[in-house]
Amino acid sequence: MPKEALVSHGEPTVTQEVAATLPDGRRVTRWTIGSPEGVTAEVLSLGARLQALYAPDRDGRRENVVLGCDRVEDLLGGAAHLGATVGRYANRIAHGLAPVDGTTHRLATQAGGHTLHGGPEGFATRLWDGVPVREGRRAGVRLRLHSPDGDQGFPGTLCAEVTYLLDPAGELRIGYRATTDAPTVVNLTHHAYFNLAGEGSGAVLDHSLRVEASGYLPVDGELIPIGPIASVTGTPFDLREAAVIGERVVDADPQIGRAGGGFDHNWVLDGNGLRRVAVLSHPAGGRRVECLTTEPGLQVYTGNHFDGSLTGRSGRPYRAYAGIALETQHFPDSPNRPEYPSTVLRPGEEFRSTTVYRFSAE
């Protein structure tokens, strides 16, 4: 199918094309959202994922700055979470057990016996329905997914929606909505891995990261939070002033070791409402991304476990620290932690969440 302009009045524009075919014959659609200011995003219907995002550096050179794969086998396998909309519950639920109103639901689990990112067949592996949209000077795509009662063990029928909108200045806004017909738990996130030097260019250890958070959640050896919020003060998790990633992931703190030699933790964000919570920058090239969200938590994962088995769109393998994920979210294992912010959604309520990634060069 040739590219077809779907939104052509004003700026940016949206085009669509068939990107791939699934083993069962269904077609995967790619929407390209283009901005004349220099930022362009590519979104796939498979996993409602951001497959690529092109941004200029300080000299105007455009590079794809998110990790992604082209092969369907990878997108349904080891690369399933790269850039995807993750759900029904992002991050981990211990032992696949989710209590809701006194009833404990047994969820589908992965190796290790925990539920990660909604289970082995979570939202990242699904084909979403999408339509182009425009809101003022923003253009993009709105994708919807119907998740039936009992899907991966979760109670209630969930109707989920995610909208990607790009504006001319390089701001990518991601809005989430969901409703249910029975009490359930919901925690949706965006799982892009950023490398501001360019996809496939190597490790992000030379990137600088700032996170507006006074606390974080320490984890056990299986990356399940072990209890109360801990202060970041005096730890490698204190990123209230920007720090070079490579200088923190070599710290001797046991928490760094438990995550495989880096970060894979939830920061407890300061403030409320839509606010700036993190800044990632690449000093050598000047690219910078600010992360804003309405969510209470941010999972920072430095790609510690990439082992070269995945090959990106650049044709180069992804090895340790090939990208960094900034996953806005509620806290992991919240269904089993009543002291954490609740993730319960009930009939008649609407789950809403907004995350913004604002790209620039300096």
Catalytic residues: 191, 327
3: Cβ contacts below 8 Å, ≥ 6 apart: 15, 16, 17, 32
Strands 213-217 and 4-7: unpaired
Whether residue 88 is preceded by a cis peptide bond, meaning omega within 30 degrees of 0, is: yes
Q: Phi, psi at residue 344, to the nearest 5°?
A: -75, 135
24: Cβ contacts below 8 Å, ≥ 6 apart: none
Residue 31 CA, chain-centre distance (Å), reads 18
DSSP sequence for 236-293: TT--SS-EEHHHHTT---HHHHHTTSS-EEEEEESS-SSEEEEEEE-TTT-EEEEEEE
Counting beta carbons within 10 angstroms of the beta carbon of residue 280, is it exposed (0 to 12), middle (13 to 18) or buried (19 or more)? Answer: buried
Could you give the CA distance from residue 178 to residue 321 in angstroms, rounded to a whole number?
Answer: 33
Could you give the CA distance from residue 43 to residue 40 in angstroms, rounded to a whole number?
Answer: 10
DSSP sequence for 291-325: EEESSSEEEEE--TT-EEEEE-TTS-EEETTS-EE
Quick check: 165 and 31 in contact, CB under 8 A? no
Quick check: 168 and 137 in contact, CB under 8 A? yes
77: Cβ contacts below 8 Å, ≥ 6 apart: none
Quick check: 141 and 103 in contact, CB under 8 A? no
Smallest CA-to-CA distance from 146 within 161, 133, 132, 131 is with 161
